[in-house]
Structures are given as C-alpha cells and as structure tokens.
Chains A and B, each alone.
Chain A
Amino acid sequence: MSSLCMLSDDALLDRLQQAAFGYFVDTMNAENGLVPDTSREHSPVSIAVVGFALSAYPAAVERGWMERAEAVRRSLLALRFFRDSDQSGSPTATGYKGFYYHFLDIHSGRRVWRSELSMIDSAMLIAGMLTAATYFTADTAAEAELRELADLLYRRVDWHWSRDGTGTIRQGWKPESGFLHYGWEGYSEAIVLYALALGSPTHPVSTDCYAGWTATYQWENLYDQDFLYAGPLFVHHFSHAWVDLRGVRDPFMREKNSDYFENSRRAVVVQRRYAQLNPHQFVGYDCNCWGLSACDGPTDDQPEVANEPRRLFGYAARGVPYGPDDGTLSPPSVLTSVPFAPQLALGALRNVLMRHPEILTDDRLATSFNASVIDHNGQAWVSPGHYGLDQGAVFMMIENHRSGWIWRLLHGCDYLVNGMRKAGFTGGWLDPLVTVEVHS
C-alpha cells in the first residue's frame, strides 16, 4: 500500500501536486524551455505540455516551490523559442500561421512524426503563455519582455484561417495534405480554444463559429443524469484547467439550466455508474475504480499482421458508455476530477492507490493501468513512465480545487474574458452584479 494513502486529503493533494510540478522541473530542456510529452527516452515535445508548464510556473511561485526569477527565466526560454521558431509551415518547420505542430523535436524544436498543426494543442500552449503574462506583471525588463512575447505570439495566431471557410474550427492541418477532415463534432475540450479564437484582437473567428460548434452537442439523460455527453473524462477537464466555468453559462447551458462545471460533476457520476455496471466485466471496475479517458494502454496490435481481432487498443480515447473500453483506466483523470466531485475523486484515487501502489513512482501517477492484463507475477499492466499532459492537468486541477487561484488569475486575462463574452457566456463571476437568472 502506498504511504500516501495514510495522509490527510490536504497533505495527499499537496504531495501529488508538488510531484506533478516536478515533472516540468525535471524534464524541461534547459536550452529552449521545451518540455517532453512523456518521461520516456527520446520523447518529443508536446506543445500542450509546454502550455501546462507555462501555466504551472506562476502557481508554483505562489506556493514557494520555485523562485520567481527562475519561473520567469524558464518561461522566457520557451517564449523566445516560439518567437524565433520557423513559422513557414514547411514539413520541418515548427509552426504556421501562429499555430504549432503537435509534436516537436526537443532539441531543434522542429516538427516530428509528421504531426499535424494542432489547433487545440496550440490553444493550450497559448493559454499557458497568457497565464504567465497575466501573472508576471512586475515592472522588470524580464517580465515586461515575457508579457510582450506572450502578446505577440497570441496576436499572430490566425484563428480565422483555422476555420478553412467552414462553420467551425478544424482540428488540424498538414503541409502535405492541408486541413484534416476528421470529424471533430460534439462536446470536447475546445472551450478554451474557442474563447481564445473569439477573443483575438487580430484574427478572431466570428461568434457564429461557437454556435456552430455547440450545435453539434448531445444533451442526454444517461444513468438518470442530464448531461452534455462526452465519453472520455479528459474532455470534461482540460478547458477547466484555465477557464473558471463555475456558474457561468453560454446559450446552450442557459437553455439546459446547467453549467459546464456541474456537467463535469455529472460526468463523474456517469463514470462511476458505468464502472459499477461494468458491462465487459473487467477486473477491478467498481464505483471506486473508474476513469476511462484518453491514455496509453496495452495493445494486441501486431505490426504487419492484418485482420486480427482486436481486444486491446493501445493509446486511445477511452470513454463511457459507448467505449472503447478494454479494461484500461486512467488514475490521473480521476484525480483531475477533484474540483468537481472531491469526495468521489479522492475516494476512488485512494482505493486505486491501495490496490495498485505500483501506479505511483516519484509520487507521480502513471497515465494508466489495466488489471485485466497481468504479468507472470499477477501484477496489473501499468503504463511505464509519466505523461506531461497528466502531470499538467493534475497540477492545475489540484490548484484550482485547493485555492481557485489559477481561475481567479485568469479572470484578469482580458483576451480570454472577451472571448467568453463573445461566445455568449454570462452570469457568475463574469457579471458579478447580475443575480441568478430565472429559467423555466
């Protein structure tokens, strides 16, 4: 059993949050401020992970886990890198039109894996830049440079282009083939993307773009929960890392008399119920063992072998209730549920830590485990190493749960707030003088 289980909730969260922050301290490339996707050898950079790192430094300064000057130095390294990066959109560039390729070489900062120019991952990177700029407001040369760079990099993003003339923002673009034509419909983690795209003073998308996206939503009553459906848990979390969605509502949520924060709480209830029902009878699933999300997983894929029935899906966006589900659960997605349903999330996390202490190394959670796939010692399969996205989301959601500090900080980010207003968000902290709206 992990010794962490003996700690109080506060102490447990403190340990996990500090360890999550340590991922950025330990893995950042000191030359350019870039942070790898995973702790595994030869991992490329994920631009979203850099966004989480930039968002984490200010809160770490507030908690006394990093000197302010060091946080500024690290942030500037990354911002200068992106300012100077190749924006030609060539197959080996770093970005195009202000967006960046999803995965970059950690040394050269150039595109790897023929990855796509990713709109959502660029948005998370930009959100990190703006978080840093909103916090580092001291009248020093370094912090002034940081603010200017963040502003420059945000302003140069051509969000309008990312629509490709369609009603909504495209998921990605490749120099070899243009915009990806993957369907990117339904509720997703894209609120932060749309808020930033709408709030842009230089290349905004029009307001109908957000309505076009929410028109693809599915409002469902599932397991007696009325909720905005999305299968994987991370969808219900990522935008909340930056955007305070407590009590503020867009037109869709006004119509449904709910809000995105409450919706994420209901997503937890749905996950618990699914795990309790455990339709595929995987080992371990119950109301205190859940967490289907996008994560690594065991695979039965055999390279060069076609037409083999698949039971294990490797890295996949697992979700409830429609799957895919191969018995793999994501403990970080449980922990990042903590602001929405603290008792349920911590209860489940403690349970999983008690059962599978091996999912924790250096106080950091592995991205996933599968108790239905065991080794010759009877040990559950555990994803090796750590994922930066998990550590970033864990750090920020714990901070928001403990203090709401990142949310409050970004109440002061005019670009983000303007974008939310353009999306039609009202109420709550956006309109402190307006009392509760009445809905039929």
Chain B
Amino acid sequence: MTARFDASTSAPLDAYERKRLDAVRPEAWNNPEPAGPYQLVILGAGSAGLAAASAAAALGARVALIERHLIGGTCFNTGCVPSKTLLRTAGVYAEMRDAACYGAQAPAEIKVDFPAAMTRLRRIRSHLTNTTSVRLLAASGVDVYFGNPQFEGSDRVRVNGQPLTFEKALIATGARPHVPDIPGLKQAGFLTNATVFDLTELPPRLLVIGGGPLGCELAQAFQRLGSKVTIVQNMPLFLPHAERDAAQTLSEAFARDGIEVRLNTTASAVRVEGGERVVDLVSDDYHSTVRVDAILTGVGRRPNVQGLALEAAGVESDESTGVTVDDHLRTANPRIYAAGDVCLSAKFTDIAEESACIVVRNALLGGCERLSERIVPWCTYTDPEIAHVGMYVREANARGIPIKTFTIPMHQIDRAITDSEQDGFVKLHVSEGSDHILGATIVSRDAGDMISQVTLAMVAGVGLRTLAKVIHTYPTKTDAIRQAAMAYNRTRLTPRVLARLRRWLTR
C-alpha cells in the first residue's frame, strides 16, 4: 500500500479546473495599455488586492491590479476556500464513524472516496469564480495586468517591461509557505498549502510539521479522511497565540481523533528509504523516528517582498516581517501603502481585506484611519473551532490591566448537549469591576460564527449588561454568550445588595 502511494501533486485538468484557471488566469489575456497615470496601482490580486481594487473602482478611481500568478491569491486558490471545502468532507466521515454517539447506526463499512472529496473541492472552488474572476474585475473598471512588477522609482512600477505611473500604490503581494530548514526535507519532497489540494491520492501516513492554524486544520482533516497523521509541534501547545485552555482542548480533540500528537518536538532530519519518508524527531533528549508517505509543512508563512525592487521606491522591508508600515498602513514612501499578509503579523483573510479598505480610504480619500482601531477576530477551523477577538488575558496582565473572565463551558448549554457537542467554552474577558469587554475566546463547533456576536458588541461599545438583555432563540449555542453576561449580572448582587433586596421584598 505504501509503495503504491502516488505522491504527485498535479490535479486533473478537469472541467472545474479549466473553468477556474480561465477565470483567475485566462490564457488569452492581454495586458491593457495604460491611458495615463493611475490613481492607485495594486501589486498582488489576493484577498487584500482584490478588496482594494473593488473598493477603489467603486469610488471611480483609475485602478491597476498586477498579479504574478492567479487572481484570488492564497485564500481562494490554496487556502481558506479549498481547505474549508475539504474540512467539510472530513467532518462528514467523522460523523459517520461517530454515528452511534448521535443515536444513529454507523455504516457497516466506511470507505473514504478521496478522489470524490477532491473533485468536490475543485467543483466548489470553480463555482466561486462566479464572484472572483479577471473578467468581473475588468468589467468593474479595473485594469488587470499579469506579470512580475518591479518598482523603478517612488511613483512608477514596471510590469513585464511595461511602465505604469501612479499617484498611490498598494503592495499586497501576500505571503508564501515557510519551508523549515530540515536536512533532507527538500530532497525527500514535501507538501505545502500550495500543493496539498492537488493531491490525487490520500497519503496513508502523513506527517504534519507545525501546529499553527493550517497545520492543525489539515492534520485533523486528513486523519478523518483516513490518513494516519502525526503532528509535530516545537512548542508545548498547538496554536501558540491561542489561549492555553483552547489549545489544550484541541490537543484532546486530536487525541480522540487518533492523531499522533508530538508536542515539544522538532523534526531534525528527513531521508527516503524504500519509497518511505523517514523523519527523525527530537523532544528534549528523546529521539524517535517516524515513517510516512507524505510530509506537510505548516510552519507559518513568509511575506513576499523579493523581486519587487522595493528599495527603488524607498520602501523598507524585512525578509521575515515584510513591508514596514505605520498604523495608517503607509510605508516609508508616503505614496505607497501595504496591506494584508505582506506587512501584517496576523495573516488572515478578514484582516487582509479590512486593511486594504483602510488603505483605499487613506490613500484616495485623504483618510487617517488606523489599523489598531479595528477589532479583529480570527478563527481556526478545527473541530471544535477556536475563535478569538480582542485582548488576551496575558496581554492585559502584561499591560497592568486588571482583567476578569466569565466562563461558560458548553456543557452548560442545552443546545450543545442536545447536539452532543459539549466540548468547548465561551470566555468573555472584561475589565475588572466593569462590564467593558476586552476580548473573548470561544471554543465550539461553531465558534467562528459565534464570535461575531462578541465582535459586534465590542465594535458597538456594548457591555455585558446589555448583552444580558439580548434574547436568544432557544435553544442555540450562542446562548452561552448571554449566559456569560448573566453570570456577570449575578456578580453585581453583592451580599450588601442582596441584603437590601431581601429587606425590601420582605417589607
């Protein structure tokens, strides 16, 4: 079985792929001739670039969008869209296996049809070109160029030899997978998010190196699809930015799924023996070896700053942190801005899009909006999902802000119990002695959706007293948010207040 595993990563060029590629990189595309200086030139047509192009075009600005590879960038082609599609299929197989837990009969034999899962992935990704395509962009008034952009001065950029001048520019070239420097890894071959969705065959044994969001999501998905997954993380817990309890919950979910979890462990060397990839692992003084069919690296992302001749435009950058920007997202060159993964430490689609919209308003409308004023949620789409918004307890402690957390475990919520989804919790962090929300973490199967309610409250300046008045349809899991708010209200009933109340009630 192992020897027969086909590790090639070229997806079949079926009708779905042809439709997608025709939408995001038409073969017959001819770059337009610039009519004059652009008000905004955007480098990179990923989430940030597309958001900026649409917003600027809607304002009536003369906009150019330059893309090296595919419109849609990582999120659409090799990130959120394909991964969430695959996660859904994996979740179905997990529920089949757990059918008895829901009072249903598990199928006598659960045979994973990996090609069908990948076909669905390609179908859905191509379907979404109905909203993401070069022609739609062009129709909205955006001049789309394919090629390698290079700055030639503070107000001009060249793409495939063609000079474009601009009043303002936006660098939104995104980031690429960061391949760890492990001896033998490159020779043995490995998967990244750029190639894993092109697999045609399920690797029987998969090693995931790195316990960040992408590594965790795909480790769980492939385990549920039938791979025997080992995940290696060089830290005590997964998701290093997440709250400890959230990461702990995830570790336990992985153990229940049967994922071989190796925390505090590094991969030190890779070699190929008899068609297998043999990986040496080190955890303190404990050395071990795993044999796998494929290796997926999910150890983070590096900003795409090379090849842009940024120095010619006076834009400062760093190989690991990307383009240097201020809080208004302006680079060292006041004409040039940056947005998304190329300049932000939080590399998420929603933040990329929002930062791009800030740039459009600051660059074209003379705005002075700050990124730090935005309240940014994020979510890791494992099962359960892990979502967060606002401040962490450790940040508050470091800044000397007294903080208190109202915690509602999901096993206190009726709908979570009826759905057999008691794992997880809602934690609302408030400024001690007040109902002002500083942040929140939610771990639940629907955490990504649930967190929006807290984000809304924070953006609107709504505190827990008001949240406690929000009636939720019964039974829903978001009721946990109201329960946390009601727990806050109960703390206002101090013994003194209670004594007064009792006196009044018994008058």
Contact = CB atoms under 8 A, between A and B. Distances in A.
Question: Are A and B subunits of one complex?
Answer: yes
Interface string A110-124: 000010000000000
Interface stretch (A55-63, A305-313, A351-359): A305-313
A310 B403 contact: no
Nearest to A308: B258
A269 B411 CA distance: 17
A181 B228 CA distance: 27
Given A176-B284, A307-B223, A322-B249, A216 B228 contact: no
Interface in B396-436: 397-398, 402-407, 409, 411-412, 417, 422, 425, 427, 432-433
B75 interface: no
Interface string B247-277: 0110010011111100010000000000000
Interface stretch (A219-227, A394-402, A425-433): A219-227
B397 A183 contact: no
B487 A221 contact: yes
Interface stretch (B113-121, B229-237, B344-352, B369-377): B229-237
A222 B258 contact: no
A306 B260 contact: yes
B438 to A, nearest CB: 13
Given A307-B258, A307-B260, A224 B490 contact: yes
B398 A174 contact: no
Given A218-B393, A279-B409, A183 B284 contact: no
Interface in B345-400: 393-394, 397-398
B259 A216 contact: no
B284 A321 contact: no
A286 interface: no
A174 B394 CA distance: 28
Contacts of B236: 181-183
Interface in B420-466: 422, 425, 427, 432-433
B386 to A, nearest CB: 13
A306 to B, nearest CB: 5
B422 A306 contact: no
B326 interface: no
B186 interface: no
B284 A226 contact: no
B258 A310 contact: yes
B131 to A, nearest CB: 39
Nearest to A255: B402
B258 to A, nearest CB: 4
A182 B264 contact: yes
Contacts of B228: 306-307
Contacts of B256: 309-311
Interface residues of B, number: 45
B468 to A, nearest CB: 13
Interface string A169-194: 00000101100111101100000000
A360 to B, nearest CB: 31
Contact of B405 (A216, A218, A322): A218
Contact of A322 (B235, B286, B425): B425
A280 B491 CA distance: 28
A217 B397 contact: yes
B285 interface: yes
Contacts of A404: none
Nearest to B393: A218
Contacts of A322: 245, 248-249, 409, 425
**Interface residues of chain A: helix, strand, loop or mixed (majority):** loop
A180 B285 CA distance: 10
A185 B394 CA distance: 10
A144 interface: no
Contact of A221 (B258, B402, B404): B404
A181 B283 CA distance: 10
B226 to A, nearest CB: 10
Contacts of A219: 403-405, 432
B258 A220 contact: no
Contacts of A183: 235-237, 244
B166 interface: no
A176 B490 CA distance: 53
Nearest to A322: B245
A174 B284 contact: yes
A321 B397 contact: no
A311 B409 CA distance: 20
Contacts of B146: none
Contact of B249 (A180, A277, A279, A323): A323
Contacts of B249: 322-323
A215 interface: yes
Given A177-B284, A180-B284, A322-B425, A221 B394 contact: no
B409 A321 contact: yes
A221 B245 contact: no
B488 interface: yes
A324 interface: yes
Given A226-B491, A322-B425, A307 B259 contact: yes
B272 to A, nearest CB: 20
Interface string A3-32: 000000000000000000000000000000
A220 B244 contact: no
Interface string A344-379: 000000000000000000000000000000000000
Nearest to A311: B256
A309 B284 CA distance: 26
* A-B complex: 3 closest residue pairs judged by Cβ atoms: A176-B285, A279-B411, A183-B236
30 contacts: A174-B285, A176-B284, A181-B235, A181-B236, A181-B284, A183-B236, A186-B244, A215-B397, A218-B245, A219-B432, A220-B407, A221-B406, A221-B407, A222-B409, A224-B490, A255-B402, A279-B409, A279-B411, A279-B417, A279-B422, A280-B422, A307-B223, A307-B228, A309-B256, A310-B256, A310-B258, A311-B256, A321-B409, A321-B425, A322-B245
